[in-house]
Amino acid sequence: MPILFVVIPVFNEPATLGDCVRKVAAVALPTAWTLRIVLINDGSDSATRFATEQLAAQFSNSLTLLHHPVNRGKGAALQTGFAHVVRTSNDERDAMIIQDADLEYDPNDFVHLIRAIESNATNCSAFGNRWHNGSVQPGAKGWLHMRANRLLTTLSNLATGLRVTDMECCYKIIPVEALRKILPLLTENRFGIEPQIAAALARTGVLVVEVPVSYSPRSFKEGKKIGPIDGFRALWVIFRSKFRV
């Protein structure tokens, strides 16, 4: 029976983490699939740490809690989670998906992402596409983020040869066998991990398809953490992936 490992990095998200984990745990996966949550507390405040420990107790049969003693960044937390998945998976059909803890994404989309990799080539991953139903309107929440994301996605496609619409989308489902191959190529500790994952998949010959997903953007006032410095870092990662510097 294949397992979907849901890797959730968390840093100071006490208000949304509980609802996020409960929504993930409640998802009805396709027949034969089971779900395991890998929650990485990335040096969070005491409130978030307490929430993670409460959730680990509540979902003791399906949730593994890992801790970073200090904040190291989303990329570092993902690498910790990926390493755990690679160590514990024992079925070549297993897959891993990334889930943010801030409720911008709907875990019910897991089903569509699983079906995408099941219906395509064996060596296939899938990225979510938040912009499938048109664009966020100018002035609306998430509009500037969308424009920056489209620029980074275009540059990433030029560097990697991929043809995706939303490279920065959180939802990326990757078979564990492919994850095992790309893990040694991942070094970015912050949000530069997103273009690095795309580049690593392309470099190792993994097919990437797209699936429309739901998206409810939040503002910086509401806790969004990615900022301009992360955009510049992503540009560097893309440049480095193209020229192998």
Query: How far apart are alpha carbons 97 and 205 in whole angstroms?
Result: 19
Strand 34-42 relative to strand 3-10, pairing: parallel
Query: How far apart are alpha carbons 140 and 217 in whole angstroms?
Result: 10
- Tell me the pTM: 0.92
Nearest residue to 242 via CA among 192, 196, 186, 191: 196
CA atoms within 13 A on the CB side of 50: 5
> How confident is the model over 4-31, as pLDDT tens digits?
999 999 999 999 999 999 999 999 999 9
Question: Tokens standing for 175?
Answer: 């078979």
- Is a pLDDT exceeding 50 seen at residue 40? yes
The C-alpha angle 180, 182, 186, rounded to 5 degrees, equals 120
pLDDT of res. 220:
53
Query: How far apart are alpha carbons 174 and 196 in whole angstroms?
Result: 14
Domain spans of the chain, in order of start: 3-243
Close Cβ partners of 45 (under 8 Å, ≥ 6 residues apart): 12, 14
- Is a pLDDT exceeding 90 seen at residue 91? yes
How far is Cα of residue 244 from the mean position of the Cα atoms in its chain? 24
Domain 3-243 has CATH 3.90.550.10: yes
> How confident is the model over 146-196, as pLDDT tens digits?
788 899 999 999 999 999 999 999 999 999 999 999 999 999 999 899 999
- Is a pLDDT exceeding 60 seen at residue 104? yes
